[in-house]
Amino acid sequence: MFGSPLSNVSKCLNAMPEAFQRFKVEPAFSTSFASLFFWRDLKQPSWCALPEGLKKYPLLGFLAGSIAAYKILAEDYYEKSIDAIVLEEVFTSLDVTADQLMVLNPKIELADLADDVKEILGRAL
């Protein structure tokens, strides 16, 4: 059942590419309680998912490559308009710049994101 921890977490983790090893063992992700896994290599055109059959969960569509679906979700959640051009740039490049962050959230303090950006992107803004 969706939302319940997987009975075969080890099998799913073993099926993921080795490039994601550090994420597989990251305590913050609590993989032992995972219901599903999504990943995307920079060279892949779309997201990968485990276990098989996740397509039957349409609410996950925004994770599986639909920029329009994510835009709707984000605008509803944040109760503000999201710049579609910048959003598409971020989605297609799998990267983000300081300028893009400022367009998406003019109130953001870039210094507060420095450690997160370094960890996620492997570089400074």
Per-residue pLDDT for the chain (125 aa), expressed as one digit of tens each? 345 677 888 888 888 888 888 888 887 777 777 777 878 887 877 777 777 766 555 555 555 557 887 888 789 888 999 999 999 999 888 889 999 999 999 999 999 999 988 888 888 88
The reply to whether 50 and 110 lie within a common domain is no
DSSP state of 49: E
The reply to whether 56 and 108 lie within a common domain is no
- The answer to whether the beta carbons of residues 21 and 31 sit under 8 Å apart is no
Domain of residue 90 covers 67-125
- The answer to whether the beta carbons of residues 94 and 40 sit under 8 Å apart is yes
Residue finishing a domain among 48, 65, 82 = 65
Residue finishing a domain among 65, 84, 105 = 65
The reply to whether 1 and 38 lie within a common domain is yes
Residue finishing a domain among 36, 65, 94 = 65
Cα torsion for 53, 7, 64, 94, to the nearest 10°?
Answer: -150
The reply to whether 1 and 60 lie within a common domain is yes
The reply to whether 48 and 95 lie within a common domain is no
Domain count for the chain, please give it: 2
Please give the structure tokens belonging to residue 62: 């925004």
Q: For residue 58, what pLDDT is reported? A: 54
The reply to whether 51 and 81 lie within a common domain is no
The reply to whether 2 and 60 lie within a common domain is yes
The reply to whether 60 and 73 lie within a common domain is no
The dihedral sign for the CA sequence 64, 49, 37, 25: negative
The reply to whether 125 and 94 lie within a common domain is yes
- The answer to whether the beta carbons of residues 88 and 67 sit under 8 Å apart is yes
The reply to whether 1 and 56 lie within a common domain is yes
The reply to whether 90 and 123 lie within a common domain is yes
